[in-house]
Amino acid sequence: MTSFIAVLPLLVVFVLLVVFRWSALKAMPLALILTIITALFYWEMPSIRIAAASIEGLLIAGKVLYIIFGALLLLFALIHSGVVNTIRNSFKSVSPDPRIQAIIIAWTFGAFIEGASGFGTPAAIAAPLLVMLGFPPMAAVMSALIIQSTPVSFGAVGTPILVGVHGGLHNSNIVNQFIASSDSILDFQELIYQIGLQVAILHGIIGTIMPLFVVSLLTRFFGKNKSWKEGLEVYPFALFAGFCFTIPYVLFAYYFGPEFPSLLGGLVALSICVFVAHKGWLQPSNIWQFPEKKNWLKEWSGVTEFTQVEITPKRTSIFAAIFPYFIVASLLVLTRLPSLPFKQWLSNFSFQISDILGTGINTSINLFVLPGGVFIFTVICCIFYYGMTRSQCTAMMKDTSKALLSAAPVLLFAVPMVRIFIQSQENAAGFASMPIELAQSVAAISGAAWPAFAAVIGALGAFIAGSNTISNLTFSLFQFGVGLELTLSPILIVALQAIGGAAGNMICIHNIVAASATCGLVGQEGNLIRKTIIPTVYYLFMAAILGLILAQFTTK
């Protein structure tokens, strides 16, 4: 009963969005009210802690909106400078087929940006870029969200492992006892390395066909013929692109650890796939296209239409097309690599908000470290490089503000709900936090079949928090303890947790709202979940199968 009551607000959100097709703007206020009622009257959380968690949520929502603002600003800078036409022509010269474009931009470029930054940045960059190439906004957002899976566990230079798993397991007695009794694990850092390696191997097995998922869903939901077959036609290039990422990905995890699998794996895949696509290798003879725009369904474009600005740009070279993305990628890498001093320098500008309302809840804000700062700096560079006029800059700001305001209300309800859910461990009812109560109930029911459910708990954590890192922080120690109790390898179980946490990013409201906002697609969150839940179920099903098989060969 306790677990059911805990999960009730999430079930309500899912049913309203997916079954009844409500917009998130209608569903999230109700979910927030239900969460507050649950926390106040069943969990018996102090009202002051509920208020503090809500304030924390509003501050985090502000950070997300800052990232969205930067991404929108960059998008409208490219539109109103006319450079969008140069970008469109440059990418179409690599391949005129939207299926190939989706693989290159969402899968390879998106993986590279995920490895550099995380924070949902790949969707904020890849989805608008696909819209510029003529994709329906819903198709662009769907493609970008599906790729928020395999690369995510090593996003932001390994943050979900190095911060999430590391922070969740650090200084735990059961972890220290496991290390002391192990013949193969010498110290805590070796344990984190082994978990990261297993995560990479499992992702490599499961994630290689994700590019094929992208193109198949594109042709099924957004093609004139509604055909799976038209997507499967590009399987040679899709599988090639999958292996171009996952093989280096696993190798980098083996030789260098958790920092570089997505970052360098994405860069390798991007370089190879652009070359192969430009040569026309591994591609079908026919070129698939979306229907004419006049035949698009209304939901494909949501409630906001981008103004089509046909301007002859002052710069039309290939370098002009890649200039903003070169700046973004370079700054993200330079400010994230721990071996360089810039990350530490920028960290000095963090504004700490400690002990909110005396509850011990803390958060911090650093506008220079968040990707929004990188986007804004890039826009400033673009204004000068492209020679944008004052009227163009004014139009850019006007369109950015309009699009941002459409996304803000949803996040201002959704993120406080999430933080109340997570911060519910302090209560008078004697319960654990809501996420832990849910996980404990699933563990009690599943017993020895836990490897089939471990990834589901990770996905639930990401669905709630909108973050693989937070999911790992919340559940890693719990997963480790369940593994020991069932005499299974805790390394495998925690790895499955991280796999699920990555898969959950494809359907979490946080990511869907943020990605949708960058493409003017608001109010269609349920329709997006109905599509992205297909690869999410595949990911969790494969993780369950692999978990059960590997559990037979690994013990504590």
Note the pLDDT tens digit of each residue in 521-539: 877 888 999 999 999 999 9
Q: Which helix (H) or strand (E) holds 365?
A: strand 363-365
Q: What is the pLDDT of residue 303?
A: 59
3-state DSSP of 128-177: HHHHHCCCCHHHHHHHHHHCCCHHHHHHHHHHHHHHHHHHHHCCCHHHHH
For residues 166 and 199, what is the distance between their CA atoms, to the nearest angstrom?
Answer: 14
Q: Which helix (H) or strand (E) holds 397?
A: helix 390-422
Which of 32-41, 279-288, 364-373, 528-537 shows the lowest per-residue confidence on average (mean pLDDT)? Answer: 364-373
528-555 mean pLDDT: 93
Name the residue with higher pLDDT: 525 or 226: 226
CB-based contacts of 226-231 (< 8 A; 24+ apart in sequence):
230/288, 231/99
Both tokens of residue 487? 């005499």
175-200 mean pLDDT: 91
Note the pLDDT tens digit of each residue in 84-99: 888 888 888 899 999 9
Name the residue with higher pLDDT: 121 or 302: 121
Taking alpha carbons only, the member of 128, 170, 124, 119 closest to residue 505 is: 119
476-503 mean pLDDT: 93
Q: What is the pLDDT of residue 309?
A: 62
Q: What is the pLDDT of residue 288?
A: 96
- Is the CB of residue 494 less than 8 Å from the CB of residue 476? yes
Give yes or no for residue 556 having a pLDDT over 60: no
In which band, very low, low, confident or very high, does the pLDDT at 429 lie, cut at 50, 70 and 90?
very high
Q: What is the pLDDT of residue 305?
A: 57
Taking alpha carbons only, the member of 133, 3, 180 closest to residue 519 is: 133
Q: Give the type of residue at 220.
A: R
Q: What mean pLDDT value characterizes the chain?
A: 89
Q: What is the pLDDT of residue 68?
A: 83
| pTM tops 0.75, yes or no | yes
Give yes or no for residue 6 having a pLDDT over 90: no
Give yes or no for residue 313 having a pLDDT over 80: no
In which band, very low, low, confident or very high, does the pLDDT at 202 lie, cut at 50, 70 and 90?
very high
Please give the full DSSP string across 87-100, using - where no structure is assigned. HHHHHHHH-S-HHH
421-435 mean pLDDT: 90
Q: What is the pLDDT of residue 310?
A: 65
Both tokens of residue 31? 């979910």
Three-state SS at 351: strand
- Give the highest mean pLDDT range of 80-89, 459-468, 489-498: 489-498
Longest dimension (CA), the chain: 69
Give yes or no for residue 135 having a pLDDT over 90: yes
- Is the CB of residue 494 less than 8 Å from the CB of residue 481? no
In which band, very low, low, confident or very high, does the pLDDT at 490 lie, cut at 50, 70 and 90?
very high
For residues 87 and 129, what is the distance between their CA atoms, to the nearest angstrom?
Answer: 8
For residues 17 and 22, what is the distance between their CA atoms, to the nearest angstrom?
Answer: 5
Q: What is the pLDDT of residue 141?
A: 94
Q: What is the pLDDT of residue 503?
A: 96
